[in-house]
């Protein structure tokens, strides 16, 4: 099986032993509590679940700036996005050696993890903007990722952590949330030698469904993991529970049994385009996938990135630094000339009117008004789930 990123084994930071976890949780009640941001909580969950292998905890200032500038840690590990614990006020923490990180997304703010503080450092305004410019390619506060980052605070807490739970993801998405450890075990148990991973933060229409099939056929994959983001999104995006229901219905009706695994992970969307695409690839290598689909405007938002920037960034990664293989996909749509879904670049004799294309705005309008989507665009069973959601708003 494919090795985890930068390690021979996964290094999840979740405390598996129940007795040890209970003891740590009891000890945490006496520690100074620090309320995380949603992004900090998501990073904690990902560290616990093994997706951030081989990181031992939150990065310090030197590592964070090195990653932002070079896409590598100080120890030359490929890493595209700083993994930070940012807080607004930390004067009270300067003499603390150990703290309790508490969850902003669960009522009562329970302890999410304990942390051994190695450094308390301050990011200047210029350094905050430098990180944004390198990671997001913009400092525009209208960018949802930039806005979220700039609101977290400028004091960095760094050091190893011990994760005690997976926040709301295990309770709200008990049948979908899976750690990298669990998915890796499932892939091994399925006997899949080649596994394609598909990232989604949206429901899957017919074109997405067929793209998974195309990728599986071309790389000779045994199976596909449809891996959906379960964390925080920008306003207007479809909630995870609706996406989950729609995707499950599609897989149930239209894929052969035992060829597709549906899973989710507890991370907040960054909308960082190319840099986030590399991070997504690391997640999928850590969970055991051998191939990862990168499509048009992967992890993008608005017009901040070129349509295929999230593919070309992989050309700048030295050979051997990332083991997972990238399947570069074009925009995929139904061809009325060929009577099937194709990648548009592979149909050079087509005109725009030869494809069934609908904008997101048009799709939302149709569903809100109870108008059925064309079967060449969406499976009717999937469209019905989405229609119920939009009409209930």
Contact by Cβ (8 Å): 156, 123: yes
Phi-psi region at 147: left, alpha or beta (left = phi > 0; alpha = psi -120 to 50): alpha
Contact by Cβ (8 Å): 201, 77: no
User: What are the angstrom distances between the C-alpha of 7 and each of 54, 216, 218, 256, 265?
Assistant: 6, 27, 28, 34, 21
Q: For the chain, what is the radius of gyration of the CA atoms?
A: 21
* Helix-helix angle 380-392:360-368, to 10 degrees: 70
Phi, psi of 180 (to 5 degrees): -60, -35
List the structure tokens of 155: 């004091």
Known catalytic residue: 201?
A: yes
Of the residues 178, 201, 243, 379, only one is catalytic, namely: 201
- Which residues, listed in sequence order, are joined to residue 228 by a DSSP beta bridge? 200, 264
List the structure tokens of 372: 């059925």
- The bridge status of strand 332-335 relative to strand 340-343 is antiparallel
- Which residues, listed in sequence order, are joined to residue 312 by a DSSP beta bridge? none
Of the residues 96, 98, 190, 202, only one is catalytic, namely: 202
* DSSP state, residue 273: H
List the structure tokens of 45: 């969950």
SS3 track for 210-227: HHHHHHHHHHCCCEEEEE
For residue 292, give the nearest of 305, 279, 304, 301 by alpha carbon: 279
* DSSP state, residue 314: G
Known catalytic residue: 74?
A: no
Q: How far is CA 95 from the centre of its chain?
A: 35
Contact by Cβ (8 Å): 53, 6: yes
Helix (H) or strand (E) holding 361: helix 360-368
Distance, CA of 312 to CA of 278 (rounded, Å): 11
Q: Which residues are catalytic?
A: 201-202
């Amino acid at each position: 099986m494919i090795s985890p990123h930068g390690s021979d084994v996964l290094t999840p930071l979740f405390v598996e032993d129940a007795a040890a976890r209970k003891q740590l949780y009891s000890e945490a009640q006496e520690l100074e509590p620090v309320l995380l941001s949603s992004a900090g909580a998501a990073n904690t969950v990902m560290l616990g679940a093994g997706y951030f292998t081989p990181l031992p905890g939150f990065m310090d200032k030197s590592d964070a700036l090195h990653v932002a500038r070079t896409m590598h840690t100080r120890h030359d590990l490929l890493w595209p996005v700083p993994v930070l614990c940012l807080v607004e006020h930390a004067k009270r923490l300067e003499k603390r050696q150990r703290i309790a990180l508490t969850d902003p997304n669960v009522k009562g703010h329970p302890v999410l993890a304990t942390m051994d503080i190695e450094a308390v450092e301050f990011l200047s305004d210029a350094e905050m903007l430098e990180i944004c410019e390198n990671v997001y390619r913009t400092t525009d506060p209208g960018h949802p990722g930039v806005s979220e980052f700039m609101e977290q605070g400028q004091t960095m807490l760094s050091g190893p952590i011990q994760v005690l739970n997976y926040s709301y993801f295990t309770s709200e998405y008990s049948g979908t949330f899976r750690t990298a450890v669990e998915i890796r075990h499932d892939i091994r148990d399925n006997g899949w030698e080649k596994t394609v991973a598909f990232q989604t933060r949206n429901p899957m229409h017919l074109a997405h469904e067929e793209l998974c099939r195309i990728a599986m056929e071309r790389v000779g994959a045994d199976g596909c993991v449809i891996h959906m983001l379960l964390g925080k999104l920008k306003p207007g995006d479809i909630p995870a529970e609706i996406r989950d229901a729609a995707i499950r219905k599609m897989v149930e009706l239209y894929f052969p049994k035992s060829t597709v695994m549906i899973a989710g992970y507890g991370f907040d969307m960054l909308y960082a385009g190319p840099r986030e695409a590399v991070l997504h690839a690391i997640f999928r290598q850590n969970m055991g996938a051998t191939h990862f689909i990168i499509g048009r405007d992967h992890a993008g938002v608005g017009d901040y990135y070129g349509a295929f920037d999230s593919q070309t960034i992989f050309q700048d990664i030295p050979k051997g630094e990332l083991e997972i293989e990238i399947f570069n996909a074009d925009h995929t749509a139904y061809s009325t000339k060929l009577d099937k879904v194709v990648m548009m670049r592979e149909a050079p004799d087509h005109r725009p009117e030869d494809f069934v294309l609908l904008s997101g705005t048009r799709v939302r309008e149709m569903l809100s008004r109870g108008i059925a989507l064309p079967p060449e665009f969406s499976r009717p069973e999937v469209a019905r789930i989405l229609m119920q959601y939009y009409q209930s708003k």
